[in-house]
Structure 1
Amino acid sequence: MTGYRGPAPGTGGFPDLPARVSGTGDANAAEGAFVNTGYIGEMNVDKLNMVQQRTPREPAAWPHQVGVIPSRARSFQHRAEAQHLHTAVADGGTALLCRVLTGMGGVGKTQLAADHAHAAWQDGAVDVLVWVSADGRSAVVAGYAKAGVELCRADPNDAEGAAVSFLAWLEPKPEVRPCRWLVVLDDVADPSDLRGLWPPASPHGRVLVTTRRRDAALAGNGRRLMEVSLFTPAEAVAYLSEMMAVHGRTEPDDQLAALAADLGNLPLALAQAAVYLVDSGMTVAAYRALLADSATALADAAPDTLPDDQKYTVAAALTLSLDRADTLRPGGLARPLLQFAAFLDPNGIPDALLASAPFLDHLSAQRTCTGTTDAPPTPLSVTADAAGAALRALHRLHLVEHTPDTPYQAVRVHQLIQRAVCGTLTSDQRDAFARTAADALTDVWPAIERDTNLAQALRANATTLTNHAEDALYRPGAHLVLYRVGRSLGESGQAAAARDHFQHLTDSACRFLGPDHPDTLAARYHLARWRGRAGDTPGAVAAFAALLDDQLRVLGADHPDTLTTRHNLARSRGEAGDAAAAATAELLEDQLRVLGPDHPDTLNTRHGLARWRGEAGDVDGAVAAFAALLDDQLRVLGADHPDTLTTRHGLAWWRGRAGDAPSAVAAFADLLTDRLRVLGPDHPATLTTRYNLAWWLREAGDEQAAVEITAALLVDQARVLGEDHPQTVHARESLARWRAEIKTGGGNRDAKSR
């Protein structure tokens, strides 16, 4: 037997297997073997096949490889995961019994496993290496059966029996020369496919598994999961640079870093992008522009011929597991859930959005059929628990990252998964999902933003939604979420950002809806308002005056929006220095006639009149007007309404200006308690109240308390508003001046309203 180099059966590493294990029987074991002996002679192929079918093979000699290890990728990056695998086997080979490489599609799990297998084989660290493509149970059985035929004379006509023979052969046996083996199960699609097929634990054997799954069933019994992550930014740039250099191209690192960021540092995407750039001759900047074009499907940015024997484009690879996820309990929900998440912030979706009524209603309507015969004829109502279970199914297949411990960023989705999923939607589906996401955001957005982290997360998700599908949010009119984002920016103290947001909203509404559409006029109103809040008072006056002319023409003099614009035009004129123009009573008369005395807009106008009465010099009249307004607001709006709290602020201030500093201190202290409870500690109005409390403490003679309060306030203002925000700068200047006054023993106590 010229081709045989290993020990004879039963004398070395290949013990004889009883017939009940091998499935061959003693008669078959006694037959001569022609296969793998080197003796073929003049035998034709048909005769050889006949012999192979009725005659078991002679066991293969060591070292022996079963299956084909994928070729090493060009510009392979030696990553931390590869080092972890190397370290795990360096200690005598026993530290690694079974490692499961898990991660999203395209992160390079197979390449890491192949690199490890090639290294083990080339270094002589294993006697037998078996590589199995394990994308289904039948594939695993076939791979094991091939190993059983080649290594332990199993019957090639009995795949199940041959697989069992191979697993039995892997078991360590006393008084038999040990075999160092490595079994690689690549791309396991479902942990249940390995039920009864896990290789046995052995001090001389190791198992390496790659899979997109991270089910609990994959761990335990000596198995350990190893998460394979994306390339680091440095690894991504190094990879792209090396790939381009192979083809004689050199690109600036900053351009490659920007491209890597666009592709989310996903190895598969980087490989295909590099090939596309080389094949097309396109510049990196042009390719990035192609990717940025929402009209470009992800598949259209893939090369015609994939590199490194890759089987799937990025789009196909990233959605390969979605069908499987959709079959997991509760069936039919994973796909519409991921489609919904594809329109939101990839860096974190609040869990509240995935429990909102608009989302659950839409999920009920979009639930996909899972092929069961007992599917209900009409959609069943989906509960938050069912949606949560579908979310976990997506998490198990690495289609999302679900971290319930971070509720404001509970769900993360790789940006290319979002792109791939969106590419499967029709135009109508895309619009429906976008509007559902907008409805969900509006539904969960609190009227009062006590939690700045939640507000920031909601704004980020709304911004991503707008970037994905802005046009859908203007059908049939501008969606409320577009206004809510700008209001949130302004109310969080970011007046300039709110101004810029409403400038974009105004331009978009004019383009989509026309200049005279009520939603366009509403956007112009908010733009003028935040233009003034950002410090451009003359610009706000001009913008409100121009808006008023158009509202009078389009909406009429008695329309509530027209009256509101008149109110804000008067206010802007007052802030520009014309207190008399701001204190006109004509608007109040029209609002009393059109809206009635208890309408919130009527009450707001009374607030403005009280303020400008004081600014015009009638301090006592301002106090009386604020006191009367407060009584009506308590009756109509309630004690905790933000407008009521704002009136209490005005009343406290003007009482101080009337000469009663102790009364102002007491009023601001009480107001601060209520604003902390109602608005939260980080709301700009709460911060303003803290400053005014300090101001009137100083006016009342307690300079040290004023300094201590302002010093603590500055820390919070810098954190919430920023170091350069006008209110932060104002408080910093006041603190410096008050400290100097304490040091010199005197100062100017001329109160000035903020």
Structure 2
Amino acid sequence: MSVHDDAASPGQPVGARVEASGPRSAAVRDNSGTIVTGDLHAARRPPLPAPAQIEAPARLLGLPRRPTPWFVGRDEALTLLAATLEAGAGAGVISQAVVGLGGIGKSELALQYAFARRLDYALVWWIDADSPAQLEAGLAALARALVMGSDSVAAGQASPEEASAWAITWLAGRTGWLLVFDNVEEPAHVEPYLARLTSGHVLITTRRDVGWRHLGITPLRLETLPRPASIRLLGDLIGPPHAAQTAVLDELAGELGDLPLALTQAGAYITVTPRCTPAGYLRLLRQVLERMLATTAAGGDAERVVAKAWEVSRVRVAEQNPLAEHLLRLLACYAPDHLPATVLAGAADDEQEVNEALALLASYSLITLTTHPTDPTPTAANHDADDHENSDDQESVSIHRLTQAVIWHQLTTTQRDQTRAHAAELLDLALPADPETRANWPRYLRLLPHARAVTPPGSHTMKKVIDFARASGDYTTARPLQQARYTAQVETLGPEHPTTLSARANLAYLTGEAGDPAAARTLFAELLPIRERILGPEHPNTLSARANLAYWTGEAGDAAAARTMYTELLPSSERILGPEHPNTLTDRANLARWTGQAGNAAAARTMYTELLPSSERILGPEHPTTLSARANLAYWTGEAGDPAAARTLFAELLPIRERISGPEHPTTLTARANLAYWSAQAEARGLH
């Protein structure tokens, strides 16, 4: 049985085992030393600094791009927005929701306001808020940007859940900031965050026009442009119209429903197409067949208008560059915002061809190309929207959600399947091979929304994504993805296939790590008899299920029962796996741990004393498991009433931790804290 390192809490020799996809492998995470209080549920990584310790930046601007210069007809909306957000300054958090149809310009209004008022705030931060996961990720990115300069290790290792909660606490203690939640699907998604904020400004864009008033928000409804503004927008895009053209622009604006998205695409088409006039574009628009429109979009007038403008552009783009049309189909599969352009590089033999196709699409305003820092959480996050000239920057591609919907509805079922499969293949190529290497995590984090959009749950790619989320401690992301993976494998392989059972075991493990040890215990209790029936009571995976049941029983609060289960399991592990197998050593360590937790610190110390020589001989004196055994021996020595000996043991361990893991690694920090704690305990008893 192979053993896969899978993280654990400090001080815990962990029997929670994550099984690999094959039928004969199981995973056991090493343990990492214990904390000073005996609370064995502490974080595995260095904690983020207290929010109060991080000063408000002089200027932190996190906007997705510069606002467009083609912005007309919204002066009144901007005035109303400013009046709402500035009213009652300092009297609590002020929130405003901008609602309206897709393509109406909600996001652009928010961007225009945020950019124009950026000097009025110490911090302006934009969050793509399509889903609760995106909301959490955006707040986590804010936390990392704020913390990075003072504690890069903690910032880089914090889970999204931990970091997002930290960001909200930091904001709640400050004034003079603006937070933008863009494209919120449901008021309930932002309600928990708004409830914790006590100051500052929050700007929300959403298509949902109900459910805001119970949050104390009176939505600002954005309508289509007034006709004079539509004519002016077209004129700004294609050049000032002469008198004869004004009537044509008036007619064209009416045909496009005064919708800013459609007007912008029409203006771009006229501008980049030789000898195309507004009248000529109007004729093309009216030639779009109604039977085509019936298959291009579902929904209301906005969708139909964009579908017509899209069809005109599609024909022209396909004539100029067939690859560009294929890229649009691919972009309809991914999340709409900030796909790294490098993901699409494999769509053609020559990457330059892809770059030319993207530039063509951008010239027609079908996509937006933006330059962002390669690292999503740069040390110097206070970049202005036009400070993107760093050679390490990379280009990202965004596409409007309404354009995505139009493209997708136009495809046949076969085309959708083929395009989604190609999109998933390109994404897999863009993901680093090793999801558990910390240096790869920024890349995974940037691609996570796109992976969730296109990756089949039962695929190897999704396994890599789940492994990243698990390794980085983001169990709230990993668990639902594993649930979908397990469901897919039940449907394709059957409920008792070895791979399905391993997926079931991993789901149980992630359920516990996500904060529900009682549910994890129940899931393993249900899995164990199936393992025993199919594999037999002595199969290694059956032993793994027994170990997991014992571990989560202890985590659920019954240390005595966990101790009993490990007492019964250990002889089987020694006989079947051998007394020196790593899993056997782990079972011995868990028995010691739960014995101590059940109230017998002296027995736990004895067990660790007996375990340590075996671990040193079999795994090596500096193996992580061996060092963890030393840490646990030191801890339970102190708990057994000998703080001076505990102090000595931690004093001997600390320089080894510093040399092997570095001075800021979680295990090093834990050892340092324990040394300080037991030193204080020894001094308090007069033991020098």
Normalising by the smaller structure, the TM-score range is: 0.3 to 0.5
Of structures 1 and 2, the one scoring higher in RCO (CA 8 A, sep 6+) is 2
User: Highest CA radius of gyration, 1 or 2?
Assistant: 1
